Amino acid sequence: MNKAAIGVLISGRGSNFVAIADSIDAGRIPNAEIAVVISNKEDAKGIQVARQRGLQYAISPTKDRKREAQEREVLSILKAFRISLACLAGYMRILSPALVQECRKLGITILNIHPSLLPLFPGEHAHRDVLAAGVKESGCTVHIVDEEVDHGPILVQRRVPVLPGDTEDLLAARVLVQEHLAYTEAINLVLSGDYKVDGRRFVKG
Ligand code: GRF
């Protein structure tokens, strides 16, 4: 059986990308391979790791470029590597509805990981917002990307406590451990093909 080709999109550290790559190498994601790692930043640490691991990578800079041209480039990379599953993993750009729709037409599912229990605390400063709100629990969410930000059907959520004395960094580190597990679970769910999407609901089996 052909393995599903995953494209991972990053902007920085890339620890979620590494967790996915480790899961593939360890056989925890049996039916897939990372065909390409795409970064909008040339100096992303994750790109160094991709290089060290002998993975294909591509840089598609966003700085000083029109969004449309950059997104066309991303799409052509996804097509060139025959990607069926694009995993946003700390990719710090919002995808335009046009790109999301184009991917849907091509049969490319896009996943995103967000460091809160969506629909609570969407946006760029999830941990800060969690701490400011005084909630006692947070976590992470892997969801299918739709035309709205941090909004699409939820596949997996994992929880952590918010502890007295937490800082953004402490909370982020606790959530990150769960992110790494959540992405593997979510990828396996999608690759099983055994689900349907009903509005904003992801329904297994
Ligand atoms: C993660 O916390 C992810 O949820 C958020 O950005 C961070 C990326 O971390 N979208 P890394 O680059 O995967 O280490």
Ligand 1, atom 7: closest residue by C-alpha: 90
Q: What's the 77 CA to ligand 1 centre distance in angstroms? A: 22
Query: Cα separation of 141 and 162, whole Å?
Result: 16
Mapping DSSP to helix (H, G, I), strand (E, B) and coil, where does residue 71 land?
A: helix
Q: Which atom of ligand 1 is nearest to the CA of 89?
A: 13
Q: What is the pLDDT of residues 105-126, one digit of tens each?
A: 999 999 999 999 999 999 999 9
Confidence bin at 205 (pLDDT 50/70/90): confident
| Ligand 1 first shell, C-beta below 6 A | 10, 12-16, 89-90, 113-115, 176, 179
**Ligand 1 centroid vs 9 CA: distance in angstroms?**
11
DSSP 24: H
DSSP per residue, 126-192: HHHHHHHHT-SEEEEEEEE--SSTT-S-EEEEEEEE--TT--HHHHHHHHHHHHHHHHHHHHHHHHH
pLDDT in tens, 16-73: 999 999 999 999 999 999 999 999 999 999 999 999 999 999 999 999 999 999 999 9
pLDDT in tens, 133-159: 999 999 999 999 999 999 999 999 999
Q: How far is the CA of 103 from the centre of ligand 1 (A)?
A: 22
Write down the mean pLDDT value for the chain: 98
92's CB contacts (< 8 A; 6+ apart) are 11, 12, 40
Q: Is the Cβ–Cβ distance between 92 and 132 less than 8 Å? A: no
- Report the catalytic residues: 114
Q: Quote the tokens at residue 86.
A: 């694009």
